[in-house]
């Protein structure tokens, strides 16, 4: 369900390798502050699920892992729990993850369908979240059967809601990327952060075609989107004050390090954690620990002692000559 030809663009960059770094691997610090919580590493488990079938156990496994490792977590879209209160239980993870950064999630298109500040507050309060991310997903909705097509006027609606909700609110995409016009349009509405959710990882235009037709019938739509690396650079440039999360195809500790060096404050990872989350919290921990260890090695071998120093690293642009 991932992009087949479009990549994150992170492969265009290299971390500068240092043969004699002035660092001690054992003393590398990856901790950061994000939306008022301290995280042991700049990593948030991406928004995935809630409501149906196995989602309660998936969310609890993800939340237990986030608690154990000191990471953050975004819930999947909470629309279902606002419309069917019985579904709320599958989103409630605070009993197993009392200390994590927990972000709720709603589709921004719902703001054109009668949703407002009250719904957002309910989504946050009901699960004890620290804030909430709105997902903007016009391509996913357009490919879906009977998806939401009306995205008009949403910047103003967002501004109204942000003014009326005290908790930190974010805007994210779902894997086709936040573009610079959108970032500019929302930069001053009072959001706390953005998650670029760029192209190169999960392609929702691909997923939705499988769901609807059993196959990909519009392959170019499935491959459309702003590569994650470009989305990070654009968002950082046009919203320098906002907390920036990078997601979309972040698959290794080196990807995490590069995303941060390009301007992100943290990353989010979704798809690679789905299979482990179906299994157990330990399986999620194993996948994440591997990646966090890789991040520490990457930081050590670029000579950066902490995430603030990693932010200042100048990446090398790889020049590919001939067929790559």
Q: Which residues, 228 to 287, sit near ligand FMN by CB under 6 A? A: 247-250, 269-271, 274
The least distance separating ligand FMN from the CB of residue 226, rounded to whole angstroms, comes to 12
Query: Which CB, 43 or 162, lies closer to ligand FMN?
Result: 43
Q: Is 77 in the site for ligand FMN (CB under 6 A)?
A: yes
- Judged by CB under 6 A, the stretch of 83-91, 171-179, 255-263, 305-313 that binds ligand FMN is 171-179
Q: Is 174 in the site for ligand FMN (CB under 6 A)?
A: yes
Q: Which residues, 9 to 48, sit near ligand FMN by CB under 6 A? A: 46-48
CB 230 within 8 A of CB 258: no
The least distance separating ligand FMN from the CB of residue 268, rounded to whole angstroms, comes to 6
Query: Which CB, 200 or 263, lies closer to ligand FMN?
Result: 200
> Bridge partners of 134?
106, 171
Of the candidate residues 28, 197, 242, 288, the single one contacting ligand FMN (CB under 6 A) = 197
Of the candidate residues 30, 90, 144, 202, the single one contacting ligand FMN (CB under 6 A) = 202
Residue 217 DSSP label: S
CA distance 119 to 82: 7
Query: Which CB, 109 or 239, lies closer to ligand FMN?
Result: 109
User: What does the DSSP assignment read for 104-164?
Assistant: EEEEGGGGGTT--HHHHHHHHHHHT-SEEEEEP-HHHHHHSTT-----TTHHHHHHHHHHH
Q: Which of 32, 12, 15 is nearest to 265 (CA)?
A: 32
CA separation, residue 253 to residues 42, 79, 194, 259, 269 (Å): 11, 32, 21, 10, 11
Within the chain, strands assigned E span 13-14, 32-34, 37-39, 43-45, 72-74, 102-107, 131-135, 169-172, 193-195, 243-246, 266-269, 316-317
Query: Which CB, 30 or 59, lies closer to ligand FMN?
Result: 59
Q: Which residues, 129 to 148, sit near ligand FMN by CB under 6 A? A: 135
Query: Which CB, 23 or 255, lies closer to ligand FMN?
Result: 255
Instruction: Kindly determine how many residues on this chain lie close enough to bind ligand FMN according to the rule CB under 6 A.
Output: 22
User: What does the DSSP assignment read for 169-181?
Assistant: EEEE-SSS---HH
The least distance separating ligand FMN from the CB of residue 200, rounded to whole angstroms, comes to 7
Q: Is 177 in the site for ligand FMN (CB under 6 A)?
A: no
Task: Note the residues at the interface with ligand FMN (CB under 6 A).
Answer: 46-49, 76-77, 105, 135, 172, 174-175, 197, 201-202, 247-250, 269-271, 274
């Amino acid at each position: 369900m991932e992009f087949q030809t479009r990549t994150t663009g992170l492969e265009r960059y290299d971390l500068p390798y240092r043969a004699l770094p002035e660092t001690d691997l054992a003393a590398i610090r990856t901790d950061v502050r994000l939306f008022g919580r301290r995280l042991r590493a700049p990593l948030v488990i991406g928004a995935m699920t809630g409501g149906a079938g196995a989602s309660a156990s998936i969310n609890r496994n993800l939340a237990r892992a986030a608690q154990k490792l000191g990471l953050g977590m975004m819930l999947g879209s909470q629309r279902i729990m606002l419309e069917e209160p019985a579904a709320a239980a599958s989103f409630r993870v605070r009993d197993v993850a009392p200390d994590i950064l927990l972000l709720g999630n709603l589709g921004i298109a719902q703001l054109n369908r009668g949703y407002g500040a009250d719904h957002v507050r309910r989504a946050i309060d009901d699960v004890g979240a620290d804030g909430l991310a709105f997902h903007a997903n016009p391509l996913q909705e357009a490919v879906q059967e009977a998806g939401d097509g009306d995205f008009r006027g949403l910047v103003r609606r967002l501004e109204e809601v942000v003014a009326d909700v005290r908790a930190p609110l974010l805007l994210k995409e779902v894997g086709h990327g936040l573009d610079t016009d959108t970032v500019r349009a929302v930069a001053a509405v009072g959001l706390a952060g953005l998650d670029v959710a760029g192209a190169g990882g999960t392609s929702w235009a691909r997923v939705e075609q499988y769901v609807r037709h059993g196959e990909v019938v519009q392959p170019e739509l499935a491959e459309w989107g702003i590569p994650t690396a470009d989305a990070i650079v654009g968002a950082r440039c046009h919203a320098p004050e906002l907390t920036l999360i990078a997601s979309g195809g972040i698959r290794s500790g080196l990807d995490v390090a590069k995303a941060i060096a390009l301007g992100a404050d943290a990353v989010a990872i979704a798809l690679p954690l789905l299979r482990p989350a179906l299994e157990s919290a330990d399986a999620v921990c194993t996948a994440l620990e591997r990646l966090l260890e890789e991040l520490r090695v990457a930081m050590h071998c670029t000579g950066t002692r902490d995430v603030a120093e990693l932010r200042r690293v100048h990446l090398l642009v790889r020049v590919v000559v001939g067929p790559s």
